[in-house]
Structure 1
Amino acid sequence: MTRITVFGGTGYAGSAIVAEAARRGHEVTSVSRSVPEQQVEGVRYETGSVLDADVRARAVAGADVVVSSLSPRGELDGQIVEADREIATLAAEHGARLLVVGGFSSLRLEEGAERQADTGQLPPEFAAEALQMHAVLLELLDRPEGLDWTFVSPAMLFGAYAPGEALGRYRVGDDVAVYDAEGNSAISGADFALAIVDEVETPAHRREHVNVAY
């Protein structure tokens, strides 16, 4: 059993990760600003702002693995880089592994290409969030060896707007986007969570940027 803290544990990705980790018998703590109407049995739900240093410290203390599934929205718009930086520092201090749920725009579309976020060609409606999450990745790439981290980008079609079905399978790629035989890039919340908890249980991508899709 692994002690797992999930920041943003009531969001789309976070709630799926919390449910999958609890289903496998791990000790799970969800940290978010609110408690969901339907709580997962056995999960400890902590409420508070991730911008609060005490909330962060309590959540990371005692954790074996910390998952940040935070998004640069609401109070975290413009603050996500600092929040994830502080979470990373705490994880390193406590010897906890850190997994960060990133964005598709940090990926390269083909081998040798620029990361999409570095091209200056992101759609305006997505650019602000994408660039903030990309900045989180860049900071992790520069972190010293003391932090054990993995940055996981979901497929292009991922979110409450495209929930998909739980197929019980997925593929993992490096920082080049994975597509299926029809040229689609998609993953359901349930199967993305499957990949995250598999990585928790059997670490295979330490200090790497990877992506998950069908």
Structure 2
Amino acid sequence: MSRITVVGGTGYAGSAVVAEAATRGHHVTAFSRSLPAEPLPGVTYVQGDATDEAALAAAVAGSDAVVAALAPRGPLEGSFRDVYRTLGRLADAEGVPLYLVGGFSSLRPAPGAPRFVEDLTHVPAALQPEVLAGAALVVEDLPATPETLDWVFVSPAMQFGSFAPGERLGRYRVGDDVAVDPAGGAISGADYALGLVDLVEQGGHHRAHVNLGY
């Protein structure tokens, strides 16, 4: 089994990935600001600050894969992209793939069409900086990393988050940077985690933007 480190492992997406990976028998380390109220058996929880490079490096060391599930809000509002640049550099130095929990807005409605993020008129002004920061990872930052960094940016369907947890259906569809459901469908946290851990295990995508939906 693989050693998987999930940075942001107690958040909505991160905790779902931790649970899915642990259920499959992987050795999982969950790195986050806070410890969960109900830790999962067999998971190693590490409390730390993602802006602390030494703490991140210690969490990444010895991993076979790193999953990044941080959000560009709260304490990371102004440092989100810098933290991800650091995490990419650490994963590259460790020689392990980096899987990033992305957002819907970085996808396209059709091949060659502008990304949804290019028109945010429907998004409340207060949320636009968060959307832009998340999309900038795959639009600007990740393509600029050294070719030796193997990254996969995994966008969910539009209706994804703790506000719409959904149920585990045990299925999903996977696409590239074109939304599998451009009309704004949903995917549960459990099924998103199912798809992401499948991607980690299969290892078939490299320096790629993919998306998961029903």
Please list every run of 5 or more consecutive structure 1 residues that lacks an aligned counterpart in the other structure: none
For residue 152 of structure 1, the aligned residue among 132, 151, 154 is 154
- The 5 Å alignment of 1:1-214 reads 1-119=1-119, 121=121, 123=123, 124-137=125-138, 138-179=140-181, 183-214=183-214
Instruction: Tell me if the contact between 1:72 and 1:129 (Cα under 8 Å) persists in the aligned partners.
Output: yes
Render the CA deviation track for 1:114-166: whole Å, top value 9, x for unaligned: 11223454512431111001111121122221101100001100111001110
- Alpha carbons 1:78, 1:132 under 8 Å: kept: no
What does the per-residue CA deviation read over 1:63-91, in whole Å, with 9 as the maximum and x for residues that have no partner? 11000000011110021100011000000
Q: Aligned AA for 1:167?
A: L
C-alpha distance in 2, partners of 1:38/1:109?
Answer: 39
1:185-212 Cα deviation digits (max 9, x unpaired): 1100000000011011101221110110
> Structure 2 stretches of 5 or more lacking a match?
none
Secondary structure of the 1:40 match is: coil
TM-fit CA distance, 1:184 = 4.8
Q: Which moved more, 1:115-124 or 1:152-161?
A: 115-124
Alignment partner of 2:14: what SS?
helix
What secondary structure does 2:171 align onto?
coil
1:73 counterpart letter in structure 2 = R
- TM-superposition CA deviations, 1:18-50 (whole Å, max 9, x none): 000000000000000111011111000000100
User: SS of the counterpart of 2:161?
Assistant: coil
The percent of aligned pairs where both chains have the same amino acid is: 54
Kept in 2, the 8 Å contact 1:116–1:122? The answer is no
- Contact kept in structure 2, 1:13 and 1:189, CA below 8 Å: yes
Deviates most, 112-121 or 93-102: 112-121
Letter in structure 2 aligned against 1:190: A
SS at match of 1:28: strand
**Structure 1 segments (4+ residues) deviating >4 Å:** none
Q: How many residues align?
A: 212
Query: CA–CA distance in 1 between the matches of 2:60 and 2:106?
Result: 26
Deviation at 1:6, TM superposition (A): 0.3
User: How large is the RMSD of aligned CA atoms in angstroms?
Assistant: 1.3
